[in-house]
Amino acid sequence: AVLDRVKEVEPEVNSYVTLDEEGAFQQAEEVQRLIEAGEFTGPLAGVPVAVKDNICIEGQLTTCGSRILSNFKPVYTAEAVLNLKKAGAVVIGKTNMDEFAMGSTTETSYYGSTKNPHNLNHVPGGSSGGSCAAVAARECYYALGSDTGGSIRQPSSFCGVVGLKPTYGTVSRYGLVAYGSSLDQIGPVAKDVPDCAAILEIISSHDTKDSTSVKRKNYHFTEALTEDVKGLKIGIPRDYMGKGLDKEVEEAVRKAAKVLEENGAIVEEFDLSLVQYAIPAYYVIASAEASSNLERFDGVKYGYRTADYRDLHNMYKKTRSEGFGAEVKRRIMLGSFVLSSGYYDAYYLKALRTKALIKQAFDRAFEKYDVILGPTAPSTAPELGKSLTDPMKMYLGDIYTVAVNLAGLPAMSVPVGKDSRGLPIGIQLIGNSFQEKTLLRAAYMYE
C-alpha cells in the first residue's frame, strides 16, 4: 500500500532519491517468515521506513544529495538502521536532502527539489526535507533524519509532522556521513508524538563504534506518554518572540502555551541571553568542521571522479569543482578560512567560546524551567526558488534551532495548526540534556 502511494505522489513530491521496491519486499518476506516460524516479535515488524540519504545502508546508494557521491554504495550499515532492522522495520528507500545536509529548503540537492506535500509551490524545509515530505505525504510510516542545526525540526515544522533531535550522543553517528561532527544527531520524523517516542526508543543505543555515544540509564521513551503536564515549568524566551517572527507563528506559540497552562503547567516568559550570537557561532563551527570532514571526497577512494585530468592535483581540483554544488563550496571556503592561521583565534576560537557561553545560558534557564517553548522557524514554508538567492537570509532562518545543537540539547518540533495559506505551523520544545521524556510528555498534550 505504501509503495502504491509512493507511485501516486512521487512524480510531484520527489521525496526519494532511491526507492528499493524489490529489497522492501524481500525484507518484508523475511520478517514474515521469522514471525511464522515463531522466532520474531519485533515491535516494527513489516513497518515501512524511509531513511535520509546521508545515512549508510550496506550495498545501497547513499548520495548525500551530492553528485560527488552519485555512485557511492557503502560497505556497512549505520547503527541506527541496524537497530530499526532488528525491530523488524522494512527500509523502502533513501530520501532527498540538501547537499551534505547544508541548507534549509532541500533545494540544494543534486537530485532536484522536494516539494511540500501541503502546497507543491512551497519548499518542504531542510535539510531532511525528503524524510519529512515522505511522512507528510504518507509515502512511509516514519523516517530517519539528521539534525546539525535544525534539519529535523525545521522541515518537520514546514511539513506538519513531528520531528525530534535527541541529546547529542543518544543515537549512534556510526554510518551517518559527517557534516559538523560535534553537532550532528540522527533522529525520528513521525506522523504523531507516540510514533516519535517509539522510534526514538528503538534507534537510541550505546555504541562503541561512535566515540561520542553516551550510555543512558533508560531508553523507554514511550513511558512519557501520560497525558499529564501538571506542575511542569515552561519558559518562553522573550528573545524568541516578536521581532523577525511571523505574526501567525507567534500566535500559534502563544496558543500552544495556553494549552499547557490549561492542563496544569506553569508558563512564564524569560530572557535567554546570547541567542543573537547563535547564528554566527553556528555557521563558523559547522563550516569549520564541514571543511575538514569533506576533505575525504577527493575522487581517489570512492565516489565521483572527473573524466579527464592532467595529474593528481588537477584530478582533485576538477573532481571537487564538478562534484560539489555552490552551497557546499561556500561552506568549505568559509570553514577553511576560519581555521586558517591568523584567523583561527579571531573566528573559530571565538565561536567555540560563544558556544560555551550559550550552553551556560541554557544551564541557567533549566535551573528554573523543565521545558523551553518557542517557534521552530520564523515563518511557515517559503515558496520554491525564493531562498537560494540570498544565503545570509536563509542562514538567519535557523535562528531558533541552531543554539540547541551548540548546547547538545534535545528538542522537538510539533505541529499545532496551519497559517492562513494552509501551511503547517510547528512549535519547538527544548529540554535539558537527557530530558527527551519531558519533551515528549509536553508534546503529547497536542495529540
Cis peptide before 182 (omega within 30 of 0): no
Q: Does 156 bind ligand GLN (CB under 6 A)?
A: no
Which one among 48, 93, 103, 424 touches ligand GLN, defined by CB under 6 A? 103
Q: Does 93 bind ligand GLN (CB under 6 A)?
A: no
In the residue annotation, 52 being an active-site residue is answered as yes
Closest to ligand GLN by CB, 299 or 335 = 335
Q: Are 151 and 184 in contact (CB under 8 A)?
A: no
Q: Name the minimum Å distance from CB 151 to ligand GLN.
A: 3
Report phi then psi at 245, rounded to 5.
-100, 130
Q: Supply angle C-alpha 242, 248, 249, rounded to 5.
A: 65
Other CB atoms within a 10 A radius of the CB of residue 140 amount to 27
Q: Which residues contact 384 (CB under 8 A, 6 or more apart)?
A: 105, 107, 113, 115, 121, 122, 123
Would residue 138 be called left, alpha or beta, if left means φ above 0 and alpha means ψ between -120 and 50 degrees? left
Q: How far apart are CA 4 and CA 396, in angstroms?
A: 39
Q: Which residues are bridge partners to 428 per DSSP?
A: 374, 413
Which amino acid, 44? L
Question: In the stretch 124-143, what mask flags binding to ligand GLN with x, by CB under 6 A?
Answer: ---x----------------
Closest to ligand GLN by CB, 29 or 383 = 383
Which amino acid, 400? Y
> Cell digits for 259?
494549552
Q: Return the percent helix, strand and coil in the chain, to nearest 5.
A: 40, 15, 45
Q: Name the minimum Å distance from CB 65 to ligand GLN.
A: 11
Q: Which stretch binds ligand GLN (CB under 6 A): 36-44, 144-152, 356-364, 412-420?
A: 144-152
In the residue annotation, 340 being an active-site residue is answered as no
Q: Does 398 bind ligand GLN (CB under 6 A)?
A: yes
Q: Does 104 bind ligand GLN (CB under 6 A)?
A: yes
Q: How far apart are CA 156 and CA 162, in angstroms?
A: 6
In the residue annotation, 127 being an active-site residue is answered as yes
Q: Name the minimum Å distance from CB 338 to ligand GLN.
A: 14
Closest to ligand GLN by CB, 312 or 333 = 333
Q: How far is CA 423 from CA 123, 152, 153, 395, in A?
A: 11, 17, 16, 21
> Cell digits for 157?
515544522
Q: Name the minimum Å distance from CB 226 to ligand GLN.
A: 30
β-strand pairing of 233-237 with 266-270: parallel
Q: How far apart are CA 189 and CA 164, in angstroms?
A: 7
User: Which one, of 94, 83, 97, lies nearest residue 198 by Cα?
Assistant: 83
Q: How far apart are CA 101 and CA 290, in angstroms?
A: 10
Q: Which stretch binds ligand GLN (CB under 6 A): 13-21, 68-76, 145-153, 211-219?
A: 145-153
Q: How far apart are CA 249 and CA 416, in angstroms?
A: 10
Q: Does 423 bind ligand GLN (CB under 6 A)?
A: no
Question: What is the DSSP code (8-state) at residue 428?
Answer: E
Q: Does 388 bind ligand GLN (CB under 6 A)?
A: no
Which amino acid, 423? L
Would residue 356 be called left, alpha or beta, if left means φ above 0 and alpha means ψ between -120 and 50 degrees? alpha
Which one among 53, 79, 139, 147 touches ligand GLN, defined by CB under 6 A? 147
Closest to ligand GLN by CB, 300 or 396 = 396
Closest to ligand GLN by CB, 148 or 433 = 148
Other CB atoms within a 10 A radius of the CB of residue 80 amount to 28
Count of residues near ligand GLN by CB under 6 A = 13
Subset of residues 166 to 185 that bind ligand GLN, contact rule: CB under 6 A: 179
**Candidate list 15, 109, 127, 157, residue with the active-site label:** 127
Q: Are 378 and 249 in contact (CB under 8 A)?
A: yes
Closest to ligand GLN by CB, 391 or 417 = 391
Which one among 6, 102, 265, 272 touches ligand GLN, defined by CB under 6 A? 102
Q: Name the minimum Å distance from CB 398 to ligand GLN.
A: 5
**Candidate list 66, 128, 151, 379, residue with the active-site label:** 151
**Candidate list 52, 94, 115, 355, residue with the active-site label:** 52
Q: Which stretch binds ligand GLN (CB under 6 A): 85-93, 146-154, 345-353, 423-431?
A: 146-154
Q: Does 151 bind ligand GLN (CB under 6 A)?
A: yes
What is the number of the residue whose Cβ is closest to ligand GLN? 151
Q: How far does Cα 19 stand from its chain's mean position?
A: 20
Subset of residues 269 to 298 that bind ligand GLN, contact rule: CB under 6 A: 286
Which one among 48, 149, 325, 374 touches ligand GLN, defined by CB under 6 A? 149
Q: Where does this chain bind ligand GLN (CB under 6 A)? A: 101-104, 127, 147-151, 179, 286, 398
> Looking at the annotation, which residues are catalytic?
52, 127, 151
